[in-house]
Amino acid sequence: MDNNTADLTKGSLTGHLRRLAVPASTGAFFNTMYNVVDTYWAGRLSTDSLAALSINFPMYMLVMALGVGFSGAAAALISNAIGAGREEAARKYLARIITVSIISFFITGIILFFFLEDIFILLNSRGAVLSGAVSYARIIIFGMPVINTAYIFSAALAARGDTKSYRNALIVGFLLNIGLDPLFMYVFNMQEAGVALATVIIQVVTTIYLFSKIIRIGGLRKVKAPDFVPTFQAVREILSQAVPATMNFLTMALGTFVITWFISAFGRNPVAAYGAAVRVEQIALVPSSGLNTALAALVGQNNGAENPDRVRKSFRLSLLAGAGLMIVILPPVLIFGRHLIGLFTETEEVIKIGYNYLLLQGFTFYSYIILFQSNSLLQGLKKPAMIMWMGLYRQIAAPAAVFYLLCFTFGMAERGVWTGLIFINWSAAVMTLLWAAHVLRRSSRY
């Protein structure tokens, strides 16, 4: 194995999990706080601005979907190749993923750009909320290639056991955002568009830094120009890993559209409350995201090395660690939820609605951990198809039926969405966990 790459096929699993998860969780925390800064400044500008950024949350997820998919492919293919001792193949995978992904980013960005206003109108945006949402989204889409390439580079580094570099980039990005947001929003009077421009500039810096780290550790060593041209077989292999992850994240974005569509029927306050409360929820889930990154790398390398016992133990250890995190993190988030939401808005009705959301979502906390850990296992095993199908169930099919029934038939208004999420997320978590266990048993190696 390359000297610059951590060997996750040997040594203490607990040590590896901690060494990978802690930096990844720290980075995820600052990434979440980055979004909190955006929400904070938008809330200080006006409730309309807060609603504009909340409406943009699903749009931003749409922009990220391809990046998440290709980063999942990079993590799975590179880590498995490294585990199998195929270092040259690992480098070529990264080169070809860069080419295929950038082409995909440009095509998708062009399509989204021309339908922006129609999408936001569909979400019941009008007036200042509509204009703010469109101005923000146009700049984000323009920066789509560089934003998503950063995810791919971070996944390539994580597959080699380096989660510290992305952590460092996210910390610096958070600090820069504290100054750039008010600079562009107020000094240059760009309002919501200023938040987007700050994001694109910071992502350019992040991408350059991560690329320099990849070059430094030899992640593209001896890779020549022809290696960036993907063969048909390479494209098929890349897409077989990227498409399920992309579709899962895409359904998450569409699912957020579904949630936003239902709650927007009850006014702008529920929409603003949802946007603020989701930020708080993301903070609570930050440590588990580090476990996801760590587990994917552990499973990938050990699967490539045909080491089934370490795969099983890694999964169990990660689920146990997630339960411990829930016990520590969830109580203070629920206790101080009103105060946390109050950081984003002074409107009492918005705070009340958002806190009701947080209280009910406390029942779903561990379901997210089970679901995402199972997805990381399947991605690391290069068996990601179920991720896509479960995403369609959890984000589209089940919400369309359950939310309509609770919101309108039973007259629960936005509380119908909050309540429906408990059943939907737990049912999805249990089904995905059972499927992951089935994949482990069915495989000839396991």
pLDDT tens across the length of the chain (446 residues): 555 678 888 999 999 999 999 999 898 888 878 877 887 777 777 777 777 777 777 677 777 888 888 998 999 999 999 998 898 998 999 999 999 988 888 888 888 888 877 777 876 777 777 877 788 888 888 888 888 899 999 999 999 989 999 999 999 999 998 988 888 888 888 777 788 899 899 999 999 999 999 999 888 888 888 888 888 888 899 999 888 888 887 787 778 778 888 888 888 788 888 878 887 887 788 878 889 989 999 999 998 988 888 999 999 999 999 999 889 988 888 888 888 888 777 788 888 888 989 888 888 989 999 999 999 999 999 898 898 899 899 988 999 899 999 989 898 888 889 999 999 999 999 999 999 988 887 765 54
Which pLDDT value is given to residue 40? 78
Total of domains in the chain: 1
Spatial separation of the C-alpha atoms in residues 429 and 386, rounded to whole Å: 12
Q: What is the pLDDT of residue 446?
A: 44
Q: Positive or negative, the Cα torsion across 326, 376, 249, 111?
A: positive
| Domain contains 5 | no
Q: DSSP letter at 393?
A: I
What pLDDT does 376 receive?
A: 92
Whether 1 is in a domain gets the answer no
Residue 162 lies in a domain: yes
Give the helix ranges, DSSP H, for 305-364.
308-335, 337-341, 348-361
Q: Which two tokens stand for residue 174?
A: 């958070």
Residue 3 has what pLDDT?
Answer: 57
Report how far Cα 255 is from the mean position of its chain's Cα atoms: 14
- Between CA 286 and CA 121, with CA 49 as vertex, the angle to 5 degrees is 100
- pTM higher than 0.75: yes
- 39 falls within a domain: yes
Separation in Å, CA 102 to CA 143, 269, 323: 12, 38, 38
How far is residue 416's CA from residue 382's CA, in Å, rounded to a whole number?
Answer: 37
Is residue 7 included in any domain, yes or no? no
* Domain region containing 187: 13-442
Instruction: Find all residues with CB under 8 Å of 340, minimum gap 6, and list them.
Output: 280, 283, 333
Classify residue 6: in a domain, yes or no: no
Structural domain includes residue 4: no
For residue 13 the two structure tokens come to 């699993």
The answer to whether residues 137 and 59 touch, using CB atoms and an 8 Å cutoff, is yes
pLDDT at 1: 55
Distances (CA, A) of 93 to 99, 118, 241, 248, 271: 10, 38, 12, 22, 41
The reported pLDDT for the residue numbered 154 is 93
Q: Buried (b) or exposed (e) across 272-286, using 16+ Cβ within 10 A?
A: bbbbbbbbbbbbbbb
Task: For tokens 């689920």, name the residue.
Answer: 319
* 338 domain residue, yes or no: yes
Q: Which residues have a Cβ under 8 Å from the Cβ of 209 and sit 6 or more positions away?
A: 165, 168, 169, 172
- Alpha-carbon gap, residue 244 to 267, rounded angstroms: 34
User: Which tokens is 350 given?
Assistant: 């918005």
Amino acid letter for position 361: Q
Amino acid 205: pLDDT: 94
Q: Which of 108, 67, 96 is nearest to 206 (CA)?
A: 67
